[in-house]
Chain A
Amino acid sequence: MTTIILIKSVEQEQTVREVLGSVIEQDEPVYFLRLPSVRCLGPLIQEINPMIQYNVDYSIGCLTEGDNVSELVQFAVEKNANRICVGISERTLTGKARIDDLTESILLHEKISGNLIVGEHVIILEDLAYD
């Protein structure tokens, strides 16, 4: 199972910890894919220490400026990703996970489908299929 964690901000420590701690199995490959607006993942990775604390093998990638969603889907197809995890940055007044423009574009993208699970700090798209 290959998992992509989309990093929208370096303040997504809880999101990453939830994914590494309760979503993926040990030894599963993980890609930290950062948006171009996120300059550096160093401090976040150092704080979480995925290899030592969670025993996961990870790689880091970056989306370029432009159509992030198409690029993300292309990246997911290339890596044959089974899972994409998107952080929840805030909740609506009624307690629902707030969906930002990027997450909306992923959810409504015609070439990607699967199961949607809403966690505490992360929206998990899994059992992905690509058209």
Chain B
Amino acid sequence: MLRIEFQTPVAGITSKLFELELPIKSLEIDNALPVAGDSVFLFLTVRFDTEVTPEQFAGQLTDIELVEMQPTQVNSHTYYLGLITGFCHASILSLLTKNHAIPHRIVGKHAYLEIIASVRDWNHLKTVASAIENEHGSLELMGTTQTDSIGFPLGSNKIKQSVSGKLSDEQLELLETSYRMGYFRVPQEVTAAEIASELDISRSTLSERLRRVEHNFCELLFGPQE
């Protein structure tokens, strides 16, 4: 099985959202559930440029029903959205699932979608890429790796979803970079100074931010400190 990472221009509902008068910085499709008929429940995390009310947002939507809109706890101008729309509008999801590819992550930035998905093999990759290229206009493969397991399909990574509401984007980036570079391995594969350099921050700032992340984790696990 191959895990692939690629970019493609937005289409369908993601395109509609990026065209709204309320400018969106980024969005991520967290989950999707089928609704009777040809509709789909879409759960997204959306980061706007400014504060937005549900009324403002719903007023700009056509062919999309806003079911829920909640601000996240730590990231400003970022909201969890629940929407109902036609499955045909969830273009990238329908293309991936129709072609039996497993979506893991779908993030929209600057009118492009960054997608991580699993395919069976090289031929399957070509089939999926061709289908997406036909519908979205273009596709750019970014990376690939081999894997024995399906991993977490879109929407099933509950721990990450829980944590993402408790940690800011900067904290998640710090944590992910530290993890990817091998900071938490024993023995460590990278020094704190190297991570600080990668993130363009001082070592003391890195140390402080990591402690804050650890504190937030503990709060999540054990509740607020008395």
* B145 interface neighbour in A97, A103, A104, A125, Cβ under 8 Å: A97
Given contacts A108-B129, A116-B2, contact A92 B122 (CB under 8 A): no
A96–B6 alpha-carbon span in the complex (Å): 11
Question: Is there a chain A Cβ closer than 8 Å to B204's Cβ?
Answer: no
**A93 interface hit (Cβ, 8 Å):** yes
Q: Give the A interface residue count (CB, 8 A).
A: 22
Q: Is A59 an interface residue (CB 8 A)?
A: no
Chain B: CB-nearest residue to A123: B144
CB pair A94–B122 under 8 Å, yes or no, is: no
Residue contact A99 to B122, C-beta cutoff 8 Å: no
Cα distance A91–B177 when bound, in Å? Answer: 13
CB pair A116–B125 under 8 Å, yes or no, is yes
Contacts of A113 in B (CB 8 A): 122-123, 126
B129 & A97 in contact (Cβ 8 Å cutoff): no
- Whose C-beta in chain B lies nearest to the C-beta of A126? B122
Known contacts A107-B125, A113-B123, A114-B122; A95 and B144 CB within 8 A of each other = no
A92, A94, A114 pick with most chain B CB within 10 angstroms: A94
Which of chain A's residues have a CB closer than 8 A to the CB of B144? 96-97, 99, 116, 118, 123
Q: CB of A17 within 8 A of chain B? A: no
CB distance from A66 to the nearest CB of B (A): 22
Among residues of A, the one whose C-beta sits closest to the C-beta of B116 is A94
Task: Give the docked Cα–Cα distance between A4 and B130 (Å).
Answer: 26
Q: Which stretch in B59-67, B135-143, B217-225 binds the other chain? A: B135-143
The listed residue with most B CB atoms (<10 A of its CB), out of A103, A108, A114, A115, is: A108
Instruction: Kindly state the interface size class of chain B when it binds its partner.
Output: 20 to 34
Q: Which residues of A contact B143 (CB under 8 A)?
A: 91-92, 94, 96-99
Q: Does B121 contact A (CB under 8 A)?
A: yes
Q: Please report the C-alpha to C-alpha distance between residue A98 and residue B142 in the assembled complex, in whole angstroms.
A: 6
Q: Which residue of A lies closest to B133 (CB)?
A: A108
Q: CB-defined interface of A117-131 with B at 8 Å, one 1/0 digit per residue?
A: 110000101000000
Within 8 Å CB of B2, what residues of A?
A: 116, 118
Cβ of A93: which chain B residues have Cβ within 8 Å of it? 176-177, 180
**CA–CA, A93 and B105, complex, Å:** 14
Q: Are A108 and B116 in contact (CB under 8 A)?
A: no
Bound-state Cα–Cα, A93 to B176, Å: 9
Q: Which residues of B contact A125 (CB under 8 A)?
A: 122
CA A107 to CA B2, docked complex, whole Å: 13
* Chain B residues within 8 Å of A108, by CB: 126, 129-130, 141
Q: Which residues of A contact B122 (CB under 8 A)?
A: 107, 113-116, 125
Q: C-beta contact mask, B4-15 vs A, less than 8 Å → 1, else 0?
A: 110000000000
Contact present for A96 and B121 (CB under 8 Å): no
Cα A95 to Cα B177 with chains together (Å): 11
Shortest A121–chain B CB gap in Å is 13
B121 touches A104 (CB 8 A): no
| B166 CB within 8 Å of chain A | no
User: Which residues of B in the span 103-154 have a Cβ within 8 Å of any Cβ on A?
Assistant: 116, 121-123, 125-126, 129-130, 140-146
- Cα distance, A125 to B125, chains bound together (Å): 13
Complex CA–CA separation, A116 to B120 (angstroms) = 10
Nearest to B123 among chain A residues (CB) is A113
Q: Is the CB of B142 within 8 A of A92?
A: yes
30 contacts between A and B (CB under 8 A): A92-B5, A94-B5, A94-B116, A94-B143, A95-B145, A96-B3, A96-B5, A96-B142, A96-B144, A97-B143, A97-B144, A97-B145, A99-B143, A104-B140, A107-B122, A107-B125, A107-B141, A108-B126, A108-B130, A108-B141, A113-B123, A115-B121, A115-B122, A116-B2, A116-B121, A116-B125, A116-B144, A117-B146, A118-B146, A125-B122
